[in-house]
Amino acid sequence: MKYIFTYCLLSFIVFESNAQSKETIPLYNRLRAFSADIDKDEIDKQLKNLHTLPKDKLADFYVALANYQYAIYRDHENANKHFYFALEQPIISDYTKADALNGIGTIYSGFFHHDLAIKNFKKSLEIVLNKYPDSIDDINSLYNNIGHSYSNENHKDSAQYYFKKGIQLGLEKNSPAMGCYFNMGFAHSNPDSAYYYTKKALDASIQLKKDYLLTFCYINLGANEISRGNLIKADSLLNLSEKNALKFKQTKFINEIKVQRARILISQDFNNEGINLLKKVIPYFENLNDFLQLETIYIWLEKAYINNKQFEKAHWALRKYNKNIADKENSKKLKKDQGIAIYKNLEKKLQSENIKSSAQKRFYLIIILLLLVFFSFAIYLFLKYKKRQHLKNSKLYSKVGSLRDENIQNHQQLLFKNLLVDEKQTFLKQLASDVKTHANNAAKDKNAFLDIYKKIQQNIKDSIGNEFEYHFEKVHPNFYKSLSKEGYKLTKNEMRLAALIKLNFSTKEISEITKQSVNTINVAKSRLKTKLSLDKNTSLYSFIQKH
């Protein structure tokens, strides 16, 4: 179709203008606005630093970039690649996905792969209808694009079906479906129906204040009036289109108007004027490869030459017409081949990216697995060490507990022995007292009894001391050695007193055990403190407990 690229570009702009607000980098916002101040170096720099973008904004950036590359540079290959990159992102909104599919469809349509274009347009339409049913402009744009593609495939019924869907939706939602009206008129074979729909497109353009699109409608209405023989009305419409084209500096439309004016002149038998006007615009349209306009030009040149009976020139025009048809088919084939080449190149790039990505994923997976093995082994060793330490500590605790129990048992045994010794001492003292009494009464045996008494007394002291020291040494084996190492020269009685203090006996308790008075014990403690070189402020008990 004649206006396929223009309307697909308009559909891009509709999608982008309705996109949800996004806060990303300044370049992204300028891409969406189709700013003229962006150079390719700036884009390349951003593409090398994609890691600086949030992951949820990557798809949006790729789509904005692709739309910009298509609209500004006509860079079909990179635009198509970036649309596909957007679709491959793990985080992509439904709206961005629909926008990308619409863009891919537009590029395929430009390369005459209308079947692939329709497939992508329909996917986009399905998303918008399900997720954004109130986005009327987007839906109308997609109906229009699908209709265009069917029209280019010569499926007129399918094309008109989708154009009518867009028109019906516009009527229901009170939203002028300008594009669908225009293309419905252009696709219609019936001149009256074509005029009706083109007039509706004109009204919609006026309502939407799309003044720069009025030229479209005026030219096509004028061409329609020429076909129906209404030359005066056609001339009036062409005057309006020319005025609008000059206002917006639409050079292509100005030259198209000249073609239509030449048609009017030839229809009025001003053949030479018409021929001259057509010859003037041929180089312009040849430079654009606008085969549709050239087709119209050569048809009317042939007609004018026949009217002038210049049959040789008419034959030349026919040859040019046939060559133009062949060039058109060759160009179409070339574009199709270019589209296939771009698609295959894109497939290779995507495969290369996927292989690279897979290799990176495998590398990271191996690293993660190695780290897991390392940490698992480290944890195993740590747990094994902890278990070993626990067993070791358990044995130590068991040994300490056993020693503590033995210590308590020895301590209790020491106390018990002291009680036995105390009883034995009491008994022997009583015995000694009785012997002494009898010795006083029996003068002749006095000396013998006194010897017995002295032996008993000595036995009492030795027995108590030996028994006590045996059991004390078992409980506190290093106590006496510690005092001896520090150079303290203590007597046996002083050692025994220190041992009783170590056992935490009070002065009164020591008095009862040794059968000595409290004063005697205090004097002994004072003498012991002096021998240990302790000052008045140092506690004897605290000092001895440290040994």
The average pLDDT across 466-488 equals 74
- Per-residue pLDDT tens for 215-265? 888 998 899 899 889 999 999 999 999 999 899 888 999 999 999 999 999
Residue pair 117/99 in contact by the 8 Å Cβ criterion: no
Tokens 């106390």 correspond to 415
* Residue 24 confidence class, pLDDT cut points 50, 70, 90: very low
Q: Hey, what are 51's tokens? A: 């890691």
Q: Is the pLDDT of residue 424 over 60?
A: yes
Q: Is the pLDDT of residue 157 over 80?
A: yes
Residue 188 has what pLDDT?
A: 66
Place of tokens 């999608």: 15
Q: 19 or 70: whose pLDDT is higher?
A: 70
Q: Let me know: does 446 contact 440? Beta carbons within 8 Å.
A: yes
Please state, in angstroms and rounded to a whole number, the distance separating the CA atoms of residues 261 and 448.
Answer: 171
- Output the 3-class SS for 360-400: HHHHHHHHHHHHHHHHHHHHHHHHHHHHHHHHHHHHHHHHH
Nearest-angstrom CA–CA distance, 272 and 278:
10
Res. 464: pLDDT tops 70: no
50-59, 227-236, 310-319, 436-445: which has the minimum mean pLDDT?
A: 436-445
Question: φ, ψ for residue 291 (rounded to 5)?
Answer: -65, -30
Say which residues have a Cβ less than 8 Å from residue 263's Cβ, sequence separation at least 6: 223, 226, 274, 296, 300
Q: What is the residue-wise DSSP string for 460-512? A: HHHHHHHHHHHHHHHHSTTHHHHHHHTT----HHHHHHHHHHHTT--HHHHHH
Q: What is the C-alpha to C-alpha distance for residues 36 and 39, in angstroms, rounded to an integer?
A: 8
Residue with tokens 């055990």: 513
* Environment class of 141 (CB within 10 Å of its CB; exposed 0-12, middle 13-18, buried 19+): buried
Q: How confident is the model at residue 427 (pLDDT cuts 50, 70, 90)?
A: low
Could you list the beta-strand ranges (E) of 128-263. Answer: none
- Alpha carbon distance 80, 108 (integer Å): 9
Which residues, 6+ apart, have CB-to-CB distance to 23 below 8 Å?
none
Could you tell me which residues come within 8 angstroms of residue 76 by beta carbon, excluding any fewer than 6 positions away? 70, 107, 110, 111, 338, 339, 342
> Rounded to whole angstroms, how far apart are CA atoms 536 and 542?
13
- What angle (nearest 5°) sits at the alpha carbon of residue 56, between those of residues 13 and 66? 35
- Quickly tell me which residue has 């009217």 as its tokens: 307
Show Cβ contacts of residue 71 under 8 Å, excluding neighbours closer than 6 positions: 9, 12, 13, 34
Can you tell me whether residue 251 is helix, strand or coil? helix
Report pLDDT digits (tens) over 185-212.
767 667 778 788 878 877 877 877 777 7
Length of the chain, in residues:
547
Distance (Å, rounded) from C-alpha 171 to C-alpha 169? 5
What is the rounded distance in angstroms from the CA atom of residue 112 to the CA atom of residue 119? 13
What's the pLDDT band for 438 if we cut at 50, 70, 90?
low
CA 114 to mean position of chain CA atoms? 37
Instruction: Determine the 3-state secondary structure of 33 from DSSP.
Output: coil
What residue ranges in 296-351 does DSSP mark as E strands?
Answer: none
In this prediction, residue 414 carries a pLDDT of 60
Tens-place pLDDT, residues 163-175: 888 888 888 877 7
Sign of CA dihedral 413, 415, 421, 427: negative
Question: What domains sit in the chain, N to C, each tagged with a CATH number?
Answer: 210-309 (1.25.40), 477-547 (1.10.10.10)
d(CA 243, CA 238): 8
Per residue in 492-507, pLDDT tens? 888 888 888 888 788 8
Q: Show Cβ contacts of residue 422 under 8 Å, excluding neighbours closer than 6 positions.
A: 513
**Contact criterion met (CB below 8 Å) for 12 and 106:** yes
| Enclosing H/E stretch for 246 | helix 231-247
